[in-house]
Amino acid sequence: MKQVAILISGRGSNMEALCQGSHAPKAGYNVCRVISNRPKAEGLNWASTNGFEGVALDHKQFPTKAAFEAKLHAELITAKADYVCLAGFMRLLSAEFVQAWRGRLLNIHPSLLPSFAGLTPQQKALDAGVRISGCTVHFVSEIMDAGPIIAQTAVPVLSDDNEDTLSDRILKAEHLTYWPALSAVCKGQISWTEGDRARLSGPLDTKLYGCLDF
């Protein structure tokens, strides 16, 4: 059973889905800590009232980014985290931190990467006029939203969509995608050991492909 820490900054709906997913049979992971850089994050309340250990680590209380990350790293070690999931965590992590957790640090992004990296990806998808968007779970590398892809789920972009309606549809897909992707990583079915792509080892896991049957 792998130990997973989840980093949040706000609402925490993906964190909630990851926590719920940990109860699934054969999930292969346990959520050992929820850490928020914002003490008032709604997600922290949910975690503590649902039996998950929540910790606030306010980045504003640290003199430098390095000092904040050193404390974050120490907290993850104390929690015995094997993997770390970013779930709406709104701080950019340094190359040093990312390297220390290489292959063990996951993120979810609300677009089909490499399209629409960075902020407001749903609006970027609308502006580009794409018919399909979705979400991507990926390993975190030094370049934002560019690490090896683990899983993706596609959703339609409808002609009367606005940023909110598209974001809601993608968010539902995020909740269905993140925990099975994490589970596959925790069970050693997919890993990032070399190069710039994640490798599947073992049988094809269709949960990593949110699209029509193949």
What is the set of active-site residues? Answer: 109
- State the nearest-atom distance from the C-beta of 169 to ligand GRF, in Å: 11
Rg (CA), the chain: 17
Considering the complex, state which of residue 58 and residue 66 has its C-beta at the smaller distance from ligand GRF: 58
Neighbours of 25 (CB within 10 A): 5
Considering the complex, state which of residue 79 and residue 108 has its C-beta at the smaller distance from ligand GRF: 108
Residue with tokens 């220390």: 100
- State the nearest-atom distance from the C-beta of 194 to ligand GRF, in Å: 27
- Give residues in contact with ligand GRF (CB under 6 A): 8, 10-14, 87-88, 108-110, 171, 174
103: tokens are: 């292959």
**Nearest-CB residue for ligand GRF:** 88
- State the nearest-atom distance from the C-beta of 101 to ligand GRF, in Å: 17
Cis peptide before 114 (omega within 30 of 0): yes
Please list the alpha-helical segments (H only) found in the chain: 13-21, 42-49, 65-78, 95-100, 121-128, 163-186
Considering the complex, state which of residue 70 and residue 146 has its C-beta at the smaller distance from ligand GRF: 146
Cβ atoms of 14 and 173 within 8 Å: the answer is no
The residue type of 10 is G
- State the nearest-atom distance from the C-beta of 120 to ligand GRF, in Å: 11
Report residue 87: phi and psi, to 5°: -140, 85
Please list the residues that pair with 54 across neighbouring strands.
34
Considering the complex, state which of residue 2 and residue 38 has its C-beta at the smaller distance from ligand GRF: 38
